[in-house]
Structure 1
Amino acid sequence: MKTALTDRLGLDLPIIQAPMAGTSTPELAATVSNAGALGSISIASVDAVEGRRQIQALKALTTGPFNVNLFCHAPTPPDPACDRVWIDSLRPIFAAFDAAPPETLTEIYQSFLTDDAKLAVLLDEKPAVVSFHFGLPQAEKIAALKSAGCLLIASATTPQEGRLAQAAGIDMVVAQGFEAGGHRGVFDPADDPRFATLPLTRLLARELDIPVIAAGGVMDGAGIAAALALGAAGAQLGTAFVSCPESAANAAYRAALAGPRAERTRVSAAISGRPARGVENAFMQRADEALAAGYPYAYDLGKALNAAASAQGDDGYAPQWAGQAAPLGRALPAAELVEALAREIRAAIADLQQLL
């Protein structure tokens, strides 16, 4: 299964394990890379010191290429008045769990746009791939990473975002459809036309000169084969790997994906302040997301509410990110899942050839 993705990175399979912050681990990424696909971690939600530790832990577990992901959101200026409205709107829910919300919110995640310490880590550690979500870094950071030998990938949720990525010197784009689990990679959340994975993949593959990787609703080899048929160089799978034992997902998260709740996913900005798709829960149902504080300030409150609810045995406020095809998930060790995906790709391609 040779594609531009496998050729550029020396992979056996055109598969990327998505770097879902909160569930991806060095152990998961290493297992995927050792199986011939591209493993990924996210250091977007940690500081530079922890980011370096995770990269070095991953290096100790694999000699294969891997991806390190960062967030490139435009920093949200502090807005205490907006934060207060959001805090007060959730105060009754906190009270139901015999807890009080924090009275101020903090910017818990620093954007890569302003995080030069993480750039220094990447230039030291030189991962084979660096990927970006929510936007693109500055031209000088792109140039520095490319000079260090890193292949660069950026999420695109529209054809225009794909064009911007190509013009900026990005090597590949991830066509993230609205079906995808986790945070929407849209550059401007206020202007999201919500392209689905298949039309977005086809539009980008037809228009761009750089490889396109399909993401969103892809859970098995048949989905990967469909993406390849549309001109993609590979597929990125996130939800498919959450139930692997090597992921950091807790028991409640795994149970949600294994049961009927997996059939109901929803995009909401309530939990973090940016649109993200996850298993529908009480937070999404009860909160008025129109009042939400900016990202990532809202996430500071969301994490506090989840902690209060979890202490009472309630997982209805946890971010259980998942895509629309979550019911197709399998709780397999990561190496076995990659092997199964490879078999399914070959079978799907063979079935298609018989039809022609």
Structure 2
Amino acid sequence: MWKNELTKLLKVQYPIIQAPMAGGITTSELVAAVSNAGGLGMIGAGYMNPEQVLLQIKEVKQLTDKPFGVNLFVPSPFEVDKEKLQYTKTLLRPIIEELDAEVERELPNFEEEQHAFHKQLNILMEEKVPICSFTFGVPPINAIRKLKEKGIVLIGTATTVSEAILNEKSGMDAVVVQGSEAGGHRGTFHHENKNSLIGLMSFIPQAADHLMIPIIAAGGIMDGRGLMAAKCLGARGVQMGSAFLVCDESGAIQVYKEAILHATEDQIVLTKAFSGKMARGINNHFIEKMKYDEIRLPDYPIQNELTKAIRKKSATMGNPENMSLWSGQSPRLSKKMKASALIKSIISEVEGIRAKL
């Protein structure tokens, strides 16, 4: 019952993908544990420099001989709004001073991000990484062609049917359809966020009716029930983030894991406060403080850089009130366990549901 075109494409036993959560959560141990258990482990390389990507690829290879993947952010042009920049610096200064946080002096540069992106792609090809996924857009056609020539399976990310179609037309081998329930930053790139908050139950069948490539469902899926529902609606597999974030092998600090394990669905909110891009996470003091100023904050990645020192120092202090606690809408379903145990429980639950049906 587990074999389909997606498992054949990815060469995995189960159609379960560990979401590539950037920022240190997807440790080599987590990625390898998921792959060794029959799923697909993914390195979240969105905030890594090329050297860090290379190092982690080599680490994962030491821990598993099973397929794994790397996720990259597709760079998009951005401008610095000097008025918003100065306003936000003034707004954040009291918090930075209170935390005694060390502020980065240089702001992101689009040309440098593009250069790093292409270096990352070259590393993936040189290291013969079997699978690469993309968030925040579709990579250039020439890059897609080179990756395919190396036999790398490509997975896109979409938050609307039109984005999913763009991924298919560009040459992606599969696409993650990301419902509005998803935690953290969703992969929106073709429309404003306010126009793409589509629930997964509605999204999957609409995408399935318009695509030929396999669909991977993401957003609020935490267990076998979610996997079964997604399959019934037309998905060939699932991508799960929050469920793996609280696993033992995850790189999330303990205060973050505890926040998810004890959160309720009505505490999960959408915010631009931390990054300038809409993201879903657990409400806290920083989000509440910034919510009336969101329209005056710089867009991603500028705001993400401005709050970096606050997030980093708060994590060091174990203070969840100024941390970006990204989470999907199903925190009550989170369970503390090893990644392999989570996959086993999902498989067991799906088989139990199937038997009942």
Query: What range is the shorter-chain TM-score in?
Result: over 0.9
- Between 1:336-345 and 1:256-265, the stretch displaced more is 256-265
CA distance in 1, matches of 2:62, 2:165: 36
Give the counterpart letter for 2:325 in structure 1: Q
| Residue 12 of structure 2: aligned partner | 11
Note the aligned Cα RMSD (angstroms): 2.1
Q: CA deviation at 1:259?
A: 1.1
Q: For 1:69-117, what per-residue CA distance to the aligned partner results, in whole angstroms no more than 9, with x for missing partners?
A: 0001413133443321221122233344456866764459964586221
1:128 to 2:130 alignment:
yes
| Residue 338 of structure 1: aligned partner | 343
- Between 1:199-208 and 1:189-198, the stretch displaced more is 189-198
CA distance in 2, matches of 1:250, 1:263: 23
Q: CA deviation at 1:294?
A: 2.2
- Between 1:294-303 and 1:311-320, the stretch displaced more is 311-320
| Residue 276 of structure 1: aligned partner | 279
Equivalence map 1:111-260=2 (5 Å): 111=113, 115-188=117-190, 190-191=192-193, 192-260=195-263
| Residue 72 of structure 2: aligned partner | 70
SS at match of 1:115: helix
| Residue 319 of structure 1: aligned partner | 324
Q: CA deviation at 1:310?
A: 4.7
SS at match of 1:75: coil
CA distance in 2, matches of 1:205, 1:138: 25
Aligned length in residues: 352
Structure 2, unmatched stretches of 5+, are none
Q: 1:274 to 1:344 in 2, by over 3 A?
A: same
SS at match of 2:137: coil
CA contact (8 A) 1:3 1:234 kept: no
Q: CA deviation at 1:311?
A: 5.8
Q: CA deviation at 1:309?
A: 4.0
TM-score, structure 1 length as denominator?
0.93
Q: For 1:207-250, what per-residue CA distance to the aligned partner results, in whole angstroms no more than 9, with x for missing partners?
A: 10100000001000010000001111100000000111111010
Give the counterpart letter for 1:208 in structure 2: L
Q: CA deviation at 1:187?
A: 0.3
CA distance in 2, matches of 1:311, 1:30: 26
Give the counterpart letter for 1:330 in structure 2: K
- Between 1:184-193 and 1:204-213, the stretch displaced more is 184-193
| Residue 29 of structure 1: aligned partner | 31
1:88 to 2:93 alignment:
no
1:295 to 2:296 alignment:
no
- Between 1:35-44 and 1:94-103, the stretch displaced more is 94-103
TM-score, structure 2 length as denominator?
0.93
Q: CA deviation at 1:46?
A: 0.8
Q: For 1:240-267, what per-residue CA distance to the aligned partner results, in whole angstroms no more than 9, with x for missing partners?
A: 0011111101011011012135651111
Give the counterpart letter for 1:5 in structure 2: L
CA contact (8 A) 1:73 1:113 kept: no
Give the counterpart letter for 1:19 in structure 2: P
Give the counterpart letter for 1:326 in structure 2: P
CA distance in 2, matches of 1:34, 1:305: 36
CA contact (8 A) 2:281 2:328 kept: yes
- Between 1:236-245 and 1:89-98, the stretch displaced more is 89-98
Q: CA deviation at 1:193?
A: 2.6
SS at match of 2:320: coil
Question: Higher helix fraction: Structure 1 or Structure 2?
Answer: 2
